[in-house]
Amino acid sequence: MDDNLLQIQRGERFAFGRNWNAFADLVDEGRVHTATGSLRTALGVEDLAGRTFLDVGCGSGLFSLAAHRLGARVRSFDADAEAVESAARLRRTFAPGAAWTIEQGSILDGGYLAGLGAFDVVYAWGVLHHTGAMWRAFDASAGLVAPGGVLFTALYNDQGGESRVWTAVKRRYNRSGPLVRGALIAASAAYIHRSWPLVGLGRLLTGGSRPASPRARGMSRWHDMLDWVGGYPFEVSKPEQVIARARARGLDLLYLKTCGGGLGCNEYVLRRPIGSAGAREGAETAGDLAYLGGPRPQTPQGHPR
Ligand SMILES: C[S@@+](CC[C@H](N)C(=O)[O-])C[C@H]1O[C@@H](n2cnc3c(N)ncnc32)[C@H](O)[C@@H]1O
């Protein structure tokens, strides 16, 4: 039995792959289109033609599919066999015969990573904080970025005491039976959406638009809620820690979207300048990703902590 499955059975890890496999049933051209748009926006590109794209912790495989649609040569891996199955299902349905490799592997497995090479885009959205060794996983991902390429990652925001409460909730969820799990999901959903009546009233009065939702990436509210409440192991970080760590690994900040100091992920696009040290030997690159369409540089926004 593989290590990931053993941890799930011991209640030490959320069954991410099972959740993604269920989500994959909902994937349609509309969600693929939305996911493709979210990649384009964050990377500041029109397409990824001729680029290599590594999807670290690919989950459902939706973003690998989006990268393929943008013209990239895609390699995807996930530690969870069911996630690998889900991505393979999306490839069969939406991209048969695509230049897209999918396999089971861990970002913490040095032996596996040694055979990968380097990539124009290393995509690790919502993954590194679920490995059980976030900074080691971050360093490993950074090491896979080719000169001129980028690491696009999203990491849970450190909310101090509140993050510690969520850690306890998630740990409990994975060690419990269906009844306690159901109660934890209901209570968490009520807490997270406690401001909805007020927001709804505000929208009614001002005619304002909907707030950003998981649908902005083509995801589903229900599966994202399960992933949030169950998502364990769980670690958090502050933007200043991530930016400093990236600099130490030879990556510059190109794009930052924070969750405003609240609950959720901060998104980072971090670039390895051409000619810099820190990339793998023999790294292949199609050139500076920034030349493709012009990234959208952003200054770090204020962070309450
Ligand atoms: C929250 S999901 C994110 C999935 C996908 N990146 C997305 O944006 O939808 C986290 C994924 O990371 C995977 N994962 C956790 N630890 C991992 C590891 N050490 N190596 C590779 N994948 C891992 C999980 O199995 C899960 O599919």
Structure tokens at 227: 């992933």
Domain-wise residue ranges, the chain = 3-159+233-293, 170-230
Using the 8-state DSSP alphabet, how is residue 237 labeled?
A: B
Mention every residue, 6+ apart, whose C-beta is less than 8 A from residue 75. 52, 53, 54, 55, 100, 101, 102, 103, 116, 119
Average pLDDT of 20-43? 95
Dump pLDDT digits (tens) for 270-283: 999 987 755 554 44
Dump pLDDT digits (tens) for 56-74: 999 999 999 999 999 999 9
Dump pLDDT digits (tens) for 145-200: 999 999 999 999 999 999 999 999 999 999 999 999 999 999 999 998 887 777 77
The CATH code that applies to domain 3-159+233-293 is 3.40.50.150
* Ligand 1 center to 88 CA (angstroms): 15
Average pLDDT of 254-270? 94
Q: Is the CB of 79 under 6 A from ligand 1?
A: yes
**Nearest CA to 251 among 156, 143, 155, 158?**
143
pLDDT: which is higher, 211 or 139: 139
Q: What is the pTM of this model?
A: 0.88
Tell me which of 16, 26, 55, 62 to substitute to probe ligand 1's pocket, judged by most ligand atoms within 8 Å of the beta carbon: 16
